[in-house]
Structure 1
């Protein structure tokens, strides 16, 4: 094996971790893959013999690449992911233990769409400090040079981000079976167009986010249980016209909806204390078509 081949093998061993870091930073699977590829290109141009800790070096590089991408995104407001839902990671329910290191890394800690939406609201530096420290345990001494701050300032960035996340992204009930019971109850109420039953399932501060893509004006947000339950007629039309397939969306209970086996939307439910606190629906035809959902709707 040549030195280049050995380096490539070493890099592939770190790929799942690197993509997980980039996905949490960017909320886009495609951009996450681009960031990982850029890290490989930088590694290939570097003198690997001078790198003492390859995993740490690559994580730092991916962090810098993602930070640049986030800053560039902020400068192109019309292209910002703040105007759309993050990419979902969809898997078959009951297949969480499949031996796919990349999938396992992406789903670790059940980073749901609701949390990723909140992360989109952070500044690039806050997001990087929070993701690298709180999610991946990188010390602030290593984070500081990436954001061009002191360790103390990097710690403050993470602290500010943590407060915003805790206030806006509720923790999901860990019991997947309990989540599924709540989602099933939602489906029954939706098919019946039962406003009161929907209201009973929803947290008072529930939020509904629907991303239908450019044709529907992008991301639509409805807040409050009554307003969300008020979409009952829409839920009923959706439920009666489609077949709903149980799925895991970023590791939590969700649905893939299809017509004649063709996926049309992905729904993620954040359940806390037995109530639905957030519903995230991706129905953008182009983005849904780009997801690998055939095994879930066939």
Structure 2
């Protein structure tokens, strides 16, 4: 397991770093779509670094984590996961404007608006994460201190609590649903509009180009949201250790596959990577 996850971590860091460097070094990639992609890659690097190194250390030696360390890890995991979620929604909006309203694309997705969208995507998750961290901190833990998970996640931690977790469960099922489902609905709406517009394109070549542009983004969205909905949009009573395995998809696997998803079948990205090499 150590060798497997170390390899996945190194591939994640290398792949996402290459994406960032290729975008920074190639002037032709200085467009809103790649601007957002570079921030998504940076977020993925931070996301996996919050989880995997600590997990690798546990495989080899010490398998304990302090209470403060556990809450800190949980805080940053939720901040970075929500940042990824918001950035995926922003990228879907960018594709929507590019395909459905191409004549106003330059003015709609100007540099100031792109910076504001990234700033919003990076700042809003802190409020969500802080809420759950503070609610968890008010609980008492007096029995088992064994977390049946490979990182500090809220559901395994709630199962260890001796005090009432009613408020926590209500907040998870309400606030979490809003935070997770809202970006997903924005993405769904964007792609429905894109699909309608693409089907109206008379030429087959035009349709293929539009679908290839959006296909990679849809693959990333399906991987990310599929696993998150499976884990978090279910009652705590039905949560088992097996469900924790599903978190590997959005925490480790998704971050590792994103560089491949966005560079394969993307001629601009391939050219940028070749130029960087």
Asked whether the two chains share a fold, i.e. TM above 0.5, the reply is no
What is the TM-score when the length of structure 1 is the normalising length? Answer: 0.29
Compare the two structures and name the one with the higher strand fraction: 1
What is the TM-score when the length of structure 2 is the normalising length? Answer: 0.31
Higher relative contact order (CA 8 A, sep 6+): 2
Compare the two structures and name the one with the higher helix fraction: 2
